[in-house]
Amino acid sequence: MRNRLFHSIVLLALAVGIHDASATDQPNVLFFLVDDLGYSDIGCYGNTLHETPNVDRLAREGIRFTDAYAACAVCSPTRASIQTGQYPVRFGITDWIPGARMPNTPVKEVFTERMLPVEAVTVADAFKGHGYRTAFVGKWHLNDKGQKTGFPEEQGYEVNIGGYHKGSPPGGYFAPFKNPKISAKPNDHYLTDRLGDECIELLGQYSKDRNIPFFLMLSFYTVHTPIQPKKELVRYYEKKLAKHPSDPWKNPKYAAMVHSMDENVGRVLEALKSLGLDEDTIVVFFSDNGGVEELTSCYPLSGGKGLYHEGGIRVPLIIRKPGMVEAGAESAAIVSSNDLFPTLLDMAGLPLQPAAHKDGRSLKPIFENKPFEGHAALYWHFPHYHGSGETPCSATRVGDYKFIRHYEDGKRELYNLKDDIGETNNLVNTMPEKAAELEAVLEQWLVEMHAVIPGPDPTYDPSKPFRKVKRK
pLDDT digits (tens, 9 = 90+) for 367-395: 999 999 899 999 999 999 998 999 999 99
Does residue 443 surpass a pLDDT of 50?
yes
What fold does the segment set 28-376 form as a domain? Alkaline Phosphatase, subunit A (3.40.720)
Mean pLDDT of the chain: 93
CATH for 380-448?
Answer: 3.30.1120.10
pLDDT digits (tens, 9 = 90+) for 146-158: 899 999 999 999 9
Residue with the bigger pLDDT between 331 and 109: it is 331
Kindly give the pairing relationship between strand 28-34 and strand 314-320. Answer: unpaired
* Domains 28-376 and 380-448 equal at CATH topology level: no
pLDDT band at 356 (very low <50, low <70, confident <90, very high): very high
Predicted local confidence at residue 112, as pLDDT: 86
Number of C-beta neighbours around residue 465 at 10 A: 8
Predicted local confidence at residue 17, as pLDDT: 44
pLDDT digits (tens, 9 = 90+) for 71-102: 999 999 999 999 999 999 999 999 999 998 88
- Residues whose CB is less than 8 angstroms from the CB of residue 190 and which lie 6 or more positions away in sequence, other chains included: 173, 174, 175, 230, 260
| pTM for this model (two decimals) | 0.94
Predicted local confidence at residue 172, as pLDDT: 97
What is the C-alpha to C-alpha distance for residues 268 and 201, in angstroms, rounded to an integer?
10
Predicted local confidence at residue 23, as pLDDT: 38
Does residue 469 surpass a pLDDT of 90?
no
Does residue 6 surpass a pLDDT of 80?
no
8 Å CB contact between 296 and 251: yes
Q: Which helix (H) or strand (E) holds 318?
A: strand 314-320
- DSSP per-residue string spanning 111-149: PPPSS--TTSPPHHHHHHTTT-EEEEEE---SS-TT-SS
Q: Report the amino acid identity of residue 155.
A: Q
8 Å CB contact between 379 and 388: no
Share of the chain above pLDDT 70, in %: 93
- Residues whose CB is less than 8 angstroms from the CB of residue 250 and which lie 6 or more positions away in sequence, other chains included: 49, 241
pLDDT digits (tens, 9 = 90+) for 184-200: 999 999 999 999 999 99
Does residue 1 surpass a pLDDT of 50?
no
Predicted local confidence at residue 90, as pLDDT: 97
Predicted local confidence at residue 464, as pLDDT: 86
User: Domain limits of the chain?
Assistant: 28-376, 380-448
pLDDT digits (tens, 9 = 90+) for 16-52: 444 444 435 899 999 999 999 999 999 999 999 999 9
pLDDT band at 466 (very low <50, low <70, confident <90, very high): low
Instruction: Measure Cα distances from 186 to 8, 111, 173, 182, 354 in Å.
Output: 42, 42, 16, 13, 46
Residue with the bigger pLDDT between 24 and 324: it is 324
pLDDT band at 423 (very low <50, low <70, confident <90, very high): very high
pLDDT digits (tens, 9 = 90+) for 128-148: 999 999 999 999 999 999 899
pLDDT band at 7 (very low <50, low <70, confident <90, very high): low
Predicted local confidence at residue 232, as pLDDT: 98
Does residue 471 surpass a pLDDT of 70?
no
Question: Residue 68 pairs with which residues in a beta bridge?
Answer: 315, 335
pLDDT digits (tens, 9 = 90+) for 205-252: 999 999 999 999 999 999 999 999 999 999 999 999 999 998 899 999
- Residues whose CB is less than 8 angstroms from the CB of residue 220 and which lie 6 or more positions away in sequence, other chains included: 32, 33, 34, 35, 138, 139, 192, 195, 261, 264
